[in-house]
Amino acid sequence: HGYFTYDPGFMATASCQSEITYIDGDKGILLHRGYPIDQLAQNANYLEVCYLLLYGDAPTAKQFDQFQRTIMRHTMVHEQLSSFFKGYRRDAHPMAIVCGVIAGLSAFYHDPMDINNQEHREIAAYRLIAKMPTISAMAYKYSIGQPFVYPRNDLSYAANFLQMMFAVPCEDYKVNPIVERAMDRIFTLHADHEQNASTSTVRLSGSSGANPFACIAAGIASLWGPAHGGANEACLMMLEEIGSVDRIPEFVARAKDKDDPFRLMGFGHRVYKNFDPRATVMRETCHEVLDDLKIEDPLLDVAMELERIALSDPYFVERKLYPNVDFYSGIILKAIGIPTSMFTVIFALSRTVGWMSHWNEMMSDPKQKIGRPRQLYTGAPEREFKTQVEK
Ligand code: CMC
């Protein structure tokens, strides 16, 4: 055609300009607002990173205190929202529930919401960041038939999520600080990753001027797939299916077989052709948690052996298929008692700040346009229509 660049998978298309996150996939570098991810994971907590992503700079102590209070004040959901959950079957996948309930928030907060007003956009971001843990934990409690646990605003963001997941009425629930730190780190390491499929989905949906809660629901839908956020769940299911170290060669052979669609879940990345810097930190945390909780998990032996193979087998080395962040996060989440079906929900919860930062960046751009890719048409040429249905 000559008019359009044909770029399936957007391998060579920059869809926007952005100041939020920088990735150099060849060198394995990830920076948020200029700060390396490993420094943020070691020295900042998740809400500090949220502030950084949303506002462009790390918060001062005073700014952080105020931000934390604001977020924690928004953690409750309207009581009427609990009836949304009852419409789902008990065994519904929590991603389906969270996607639906978050889209439902657009009915609660559609006015006087002015998406062209920076303050209104900020409030939408606070609400989403604050309510995602509440709604996610509610989806889990609903699936196991336990009563919903209300948020506790005196706890940290991570500890509050853990208590909403695991506390039961009339029993004392104390959050283990190592588990709290691991949870916070999982949130931090998933907070943003520039123009991945779900973030691009949020931008594209938002580019038409749609309600931000509905745009985040679109992002959640896109994240769900096993090639994206669904990989952490798929990875754990794969480790369980492999079951023991002696069965690994069979699965590795399948992964290399071009006639077999099987892939090693948790390996490879579109952008990183080097070790994913998030995976490095996640790997450390994974060992910390397993040591502290004294968990002997045979799946970890399978995981470590797979990791060894991927780093030495020519098939994986030549294709630069390193273990990615979700390879390790799944093992940590399992160790701290999070059911597999909640893994992708936790990814969505963590990524909400990234989605909202990108949406806000796009909406603040005076040159913002509706996203509208073109195509190369390969269908039938023009032809005359003659009905074949008797009238
Ligand atoms: N196992 C076996 N072979 C693989 C794998 C894998 N996990 N990933 C890629 N390959 C092979 C693929 O068959 C191809 O080989 P060849 O060149 O001989 O045809 C080559 O490596 C390049 O793969 P690709 O599919 O062209 O690469 P992509 O950039 O389109 O896909 C990916 C990236 C992440 C979708 C893919 O690596 C994959 O499916 N990985 C498993 C799922 C996964 O872990 N996803 C999570 C990504 S990290 C979390 C997130 O940010 O969402």
What are the distances in angstroms from CA 52 to CA 29, 69, 182, 336? 18, 16, 20, 28
pLDDT at 258 (0 to 100): 93
Annotation marks residue 26 as catalytic: no
Each domain of the chain, given as residue ranges in start order, spans 33-226+345-364, 231-335
Ligand 1 site-directed mutation target among 319, 329, 347, most atoms within 8 Å of CB: 319
Q: State how far the Cα of 224 lies from the Cα of 220, in Å rounded to an integer.
A: 6
Q: Ligand 1 within 6 A of 324 CB?
A: yes
Given 184, 192, 276, 326, the catalytic residue? 326
Question: Which residue, judged by its Cα, is nearest atom 26 of ligand 1?
Answer: 270
Query: pLDDT of the chain along its 391 residues, tens only?
Result: 568 889 999 999 999 999 999 999 999 999 999 999 999 999 999 999 999 999 999 999 999 999 999 999 999 999 999 999 999 999 999 999 999 999 999 988 876 788 999 999 999 999 999 999 999 999 999 999 999 999 999 999 999 999 999 999 888 899 999 999 999 999 999 999 999 999 999 999 999 999 999 999 999 999 999 888 888 888 999 999 999 999 999 999 999 999 999 999 989 988 888 888 999 999 899 889 988 988 877 887 898 899 898 889 999 999 989 888 888 899 899 989 999 999 999 999 999 999 999 999 999 999 999 999 999 999 999 999 999 999 8
State how beta strands 21-24 and 35-36 pair. unpaired
pLDDT at 2 (0 to 100): 62
CA angle 246, 251, 253 (to 5 degrees): 110
pLDDT at 257 (0 to 100): 95
Sort residue 194 into left (φ over 0), alpha (ψ -120 to 50) or beta: left
Contacts of 43 (CB under 8 A, 6+ apart): none
pLDDT at 223 (0 to 100): 97
pLDDT at 323 (0 to 100): 87
Distance (angstroms) between ligand 1 centre and the Cα of 318 equals 13
Q: State how far the Cα of 238 lies from the Cα of 234, in Å rounded to an integer.
A: 6
Q: Ligand 1 within 6 A of 276 CB?
A: no
Distance (angstroms) between ligand 1 centre and the Cα of 67 equals 38
Q: State which CATH number among 1.10.3720.10, 1.10.1200.10, 3.40.50.450, 1.10.580.10 fits the domain covering 33-226+345-364.
A: 1.10.580.10
Ligand 1 site-directed mutation target among 7, 201, 270, most atoms within 8 Å of CB: 270
Annotation marks residue 326 as catalytic: yes
- With 0-12 / 13-18 / 19 or more C-beta atoms within 10 angstroms meaning exposed / middle / buried, residue 303 is buried
Distance (angstroms) between ligand 1 centre and the Cα of 267 equals 7
Distance (angstroms) between ligand 1 centre and the Cα of 293 equals 32
**Which CATH fold topology does 231-335 show?**
Cytochrome p450-Terp; domain 2 (1.10.230)
Give the sign of the dihedral formed by CA 285, CA 355, CA 104, CA 67: positive
Distance (angstroms) between ligand 1 centre and the Cα of 257 equals 14
Residue 183 in tokens: 């949870």
Contacts of 354 (CB under 8 A, 6+ apart): 20, 21, 53, 191, 192, 193, 199
Q: State how far the Cα of 188 lies from the Cα of 156, in Å rounded to an integer.
A: 14
Ligand 1 site-directed mutation target among 11, 236, 248, 263, most atoms within 8 Å of CB: 263
State how beta strands 21-24 and 29-32 pair. antiparallel
Residue 207 in tokens: 């580019």
Question: Which residue, judged by its Cα, is nearest atom 20 of ligand 1?
Answer: 319
Helix intervals (H) in the chain: 37-43, 46-55, 61-73, 82-86, 94-108, 118-144, 157-166, 177-189, 197-206, 212-223, 231-242, 248-256, 277-292, 298-312, 314-318, 325-335, 343-364
Given 74, 190, 269, 358, the catalytic residue? 269
pLDDT at 358 (0 to 100): 98
Number of Cβ atoms within 10 Å of the Cβ of 299: 18
Q: State how far the Cα of 244 lies from the Cα of 370, in Å rounded to an integer.
A: 50
Shortest CA distance to 68 belongs to which of 133, 129, 135? 129
Residue 336 in tokens: 């701290």
pLDDT at 111 (0 to 100): 67
Whether the CB-CB separation of 134 and 151 falls below 8 Å is answered with yes
Distance (angstroms) between ligand 1 centre and the Cα of 118 equals 38
Shortest CA distance to 303 belongs to which of 320, 282, 278? 282
ipTM of predicted complex: 0.92
Helix intervals (H) in 92-230: 94-108, 118-144, 157-166, 177-189, 197-206, 212-223
Residue 323 in tokens: 């273990």
- Bridge partners, residue 36, by sequence: 31
